[in-house]
Structures are given as C-alpha cells and as structure tokens.
Structure 1
Amino acid sequence: MKILKIFLLIVISLFLVILITIGGVYYYYIGRHPADNKKYPHYIGYLDPETTVSKDGFTLCEEKKPKYTHHGAPKRAYRINKKEFDKNIKSKYQNKGYTDYGYLNFRFIINCTGETGMFETIQMNMDMQEKQLQPEMVKHLFELTSASENWNIIKYKEEPVDYYMYVSYKIENGEITEILP
C-alpha cells in the first residue's frame, strides 16, 4: 500500500511537470499575443536619446537595452549606499529661497564607465499632477544627481554594463524631505 502511494505521487508529479512544460512551450511559441513592433518599436521604459538630456559625449556602451531596470539596480547603484547618497545630496543641496511643494523625478541611465546620461525629468505637485517646479532648483538637483561620484559601475557576468536608475525627491517648502528609492 505504501509503495502504491509513492508510485501514484511520482506519476502525478511527473504528469504535472509535463503539463507545465507543454503549457510553457505552447505559450512561448503559439499563445502569446504578438507585439505591434511598428506601433511600439521600443520596450517599456525606453529613454529616447532625442528627448532626454545628457552631458556632452555621453554614450551607451552597448546597443542593446540596459541590463537592469529601475527596480533591479538601486541597491547596487549607489557608490557607497543609499544612506550615504541621501547624506551627500542633502549636505550639498542649497535652498535658495525655493518654496515649492511636490515631487521631482529623474529617470536616467548609468553607462558601463559610471557616467550618467539620458535624463528624463518629471515634475509633479503633491497630488501627483504635472506641475513645473522652480527651474533653478530642478537644475541644482539635476547637477547633484548626475554627478558620477554617486554611482557604481555594475557588472553582469563580470562585464560592466549600462543600467537604468531613477531618483525621486519629495520637496516641501523647497526642502528635500525624502529621497526615493
């Protein structure tokens, strides 16, 4: 009786493995919805070099898309760690009479040599609606964020790679109250 239970358990397990494998193969080759590459030529999160801001001479090391997306790199991206990044930014930030409330978000790429570029800036009020913040403050935070001294070179299979990063500043009365992620 015990041998029969073990045999049935093995047969059921094998059946499930085979069923899952067949389902995966079917989905991969037949069941997926086709992407409209003409309408959507780029992947989600693509930063267009024509519409983003970069320092002169910034180039990607690879033509393929960057290895790590926004949620995959942050812990390893900071030169020392996130706490030191926060401390560094807050110590260098100077409120020159700014009174803004809102969020300032930077999405960008760090290339394989540790240089930053292809910045996209999103400015919002506290209700997450687009709003222009004071240009001098945005420029100041851009300069602090884009400093290569803040960022690590990340490797994939022992080779330095390009990767995405984002930084969001919560601003209250012109002061940085929180830095995310």
Structure 2
Amino acid sequence: MIKAVYFFTMFFSVLMSCQTEKKAGKYPNTVGDIAFDEKLDEPGFKKCGAGKDAPFSFQYYNGKGLDYKGEKIAIIEKLEKENIYSKKEINGFVTVRFLVNCEGKTGLFRLKSMNSDLKEEILDDELQNKLLNFTKSLDGWTSKEIKGFKVDYYQYLTYKIENGKVSEVLP
C-alpha cells in the first residue's frame, strides 16, 4: 500500500511538472518579444540564429542608441520629403516598434498610438498607415555586434503629432 501511494505521488508530481512546462512555453523568452504573426509579418524575414523562432533579441537600450546610417537627422530629412500629415487636427503619439536582424533588415513591425493624454487611442488610420509604411521603407539600419557576435535588436520610432503633423521623432 505504501509503495502504491509513493508511486502515485511520484507519477502525479511528474505529470504536474510536465503541465507546468507546457504552460510556461506560451510566454516570450524576454518581456517585450514580438511573436511572429503570419497575418502581419513578412514570411521571408528571419531572425539570426534559428530563423523566425530565434530565442533572444536585444532591446533598443542594449547599445549605443539609434543605429541608422546618417543617424536620426537622416530619418527626419526623409520624413520631411515625404510630407506625411493628417487632414485632422489631432495631437498624440504614434510608436512603431520593430526588429532589426543581424543583416540590418527589418521586420515584425507593431504600431501603437495614444492621444496627448497618453491614453491608447487610434488617432487617424490613414496617418498611422503612412507612418508605418514610412518606417518600413527606412533601409539604413545597421547590424549590431555585442561581444563580437552579430545580434538582432528591437528598435522603435515614436512620432509626436501636433495639429495633424509630425513635430518630433523620438528617440
């Protein structure tokens, strides 16, 4: 009888630990990881190491800042040439977050917008789509090395909107 209780306890413990492992697998490896979504993401975009399921990417704060050829001024100059604006007198912020892989290619774009009170809100679909497409068109991202290894890293651009026009690009 004691052996039966012991084996049942062991079996139940192993079963529960397996269930725990399965549940833990649904969370990202790192807070803020962007999961590949076949409806949103380019199927050919690859993370370094293990394709689209690579286990780790660095965040934007793990480096020297904006890794773009010509730096932020080049992005601002290109944005001014595009003349992107809204016909609506809106104020707020549009943030586009994405991944730059070890080859300097971008993918996994995600967009969030908020009003001037910092409450999540869709400001203007047309403006947001233009800013998303503009960000996707930026092709000067540089690859990043950490301790001699080329790595993927997350980057973001936040567009401050005042009276329907981009007044500032952050960071």
TM (norm. structure 1) is 0.69
Q: CA deviation at 1:145?
A: 0.9
Q: Which amino acid in the other structure matches residue 137 of structure 1?
A: L
Coordinate RMSD, CA, aligned? 2.4
Identity across the alignment (%): 28
1:80 to 1:143, Cα distance in 2 relative to 1, 3 A:
same
Number of residue pairs matched by the alignment = 145
1:41 aligned partner: 27
2:56 aligned partner: 65
Q: Which amino acid in the other structure matches residue 49 of structure 1?
A: F
8 A Cα contact 2:101 2:153, kept in partner: yes
1:91 to 1:148, Cα distance in 2 relative to 1, 3 A:
closer
In the aligned structure 2, how far is the partner of 1:99 from the partner of 1:74?
36
In the aligned structure 1, how far is the partner of 2:70 from the partner of 2:39?
27
1:77-97 deviation line (CA, Å, top 9, x unaligned): 212211222222222233252
Output aligned runs, 1:32-181, within 5 Å.
38-39=23-24, 41-42=27-28, 43-50=30-37, 53-62=40-49, 63-66=54-57, 68-73=58-63, 75-95=65-85, 97-181=87-171
Q: CA deviation at 1:150?
A: 3.2
Instruction: Name structure 2 gaps, 5 residues minimum.
Output: 1-19
TM (norm. structure 2) is 0.73
Instruction: Name structure 1 gaps, 5 residues minimum.
Output: 1-35
The structure with the largest helix share of the pair is: 1
Give the ranges of 4+ consecutive aligned residues of structure 1 lying more than 6 Å apart after TM superposition: none
